[in-house]
Amino acid sequence: MRLHTHTWGEGDRVALLLHGIMADHRTWRRVGPELAARGLRVVAVDLRGHGASGQGPYAPEDFADDLVETLPAGAELAIGHSLGGMALALCVERLAPRRAVYCDPAWHLPGPEAGATESAGPARLAAAKTLSREEIATLNPRWEEADVDLEVASLARWDERTAYGIAPAFGADLRPARPVVPSLVTIADPSPMVPPEDAAELRSRGFEVRTVEGAGHTAHRDDFDAFMASLKGWI
């Protein structure tokens, strides 16, 4: 599927931005212009089921295949957050960026709790579709008002069936065996996606791992300056 894209800046040096579940390219409203100011042409996608892109099916491989179909190979940098990090890892060999940054990637989603059905995790994700603006603001107290407003708009366009499409990822270990290209993993403090034992394992596999101190899962919205500082040497 060809995805909807948004571009900041111009030139031959390209950066790719891949958002997480429920969001769309607008989650990068500050990151995109900042990278463009540093001389990069920044291309952000709306993953299938999100924003202005088409819908379904939603297996993890579908998200990855869309990126290969839509985006230029050989970019200077690719940054994937959460679901975007999962998709990037599945296609990084084909997309072949010079460097990859995975932000709290969804590589090791918890499986069903004892006594819970296999759909419990996806159902919890899908329930976010009904969150009110006040609930979003409460869940994300460090977000600027503009980010809360954009999340409301993104949720309105989000197809919550994506949560069920990625159900096979719950309980699976999608951590790459090795970095295909030089790769940085940035994690929240604490991270709901990359616990300390996973961070240690990723380091042993050749990934650089940095913590965005005090930030939650969406670090680029919680603390933009700290998030950008975590990319030092990778931009």
Reported as a single tens digit per residue, the pLDDT across 201-232 is: 999 999 999 999 999 999 999 999 999 999 99
pTM of the model: 0.96
pLDDT-based confidence at 120, cuts 50/70/90?
low
pLDDT digits (tens, 9 = 90+) for 150-166: 999 999 999 999 999 99
Q: What is the pLDDT of residues 3-45, one digit of tens each?
A: 999 999 998 999 999 999 999 999 999 999 999 999 999 999 9
Q: Which residue has the higher pLDDT, 115 or 176?
A: 176
Confidence of residue 115 (pLDDT cuts 50, 70, 90): very low
Angle (CA) 148 224 12, round 5°: 110
Mean confidence (pLDDT) of the chain: 95
What single-letter DSSP state applies at residue 136? Answer: H
Query: Which residue from 218, 176, 233 is spatially nearest to 24, judged by alpha carbons?
Result: 218
Q: How far apart are CA 68 and CA 94, in angstroms?
A: 7
Which CATH number is 5-230's, of 1.10.579.10, 3.40.50.1820, 3.30.565.10, 3.30.70.3270? 3.40.50.1820
Least confident of 39-48, 64-73, 116-125: 116-125
pLDDT at 169: 92
Is the pLDDT assigned to residue 116 strictly greater than 70? Answer: no
CA distance 48 to 66: 8
Torsion over CA of 138, 139, 142 and 144, rounded to 10 degrees?
-70
- Owner of token pair 């380091």: 203
Provide mean pLDDT across the span 111-118. Answer: 52
**Cα(119)–Cα(10) distance, integer angstroms:** 43
What pLDDT is recorded for position 111?
74
Is residue 130 pLDDT above 90, yes or no? yes
- Kindly give the pairing relationship between strand 41-45 and strand 5-8: antiparallel
d(CA 174, CA 59): 13
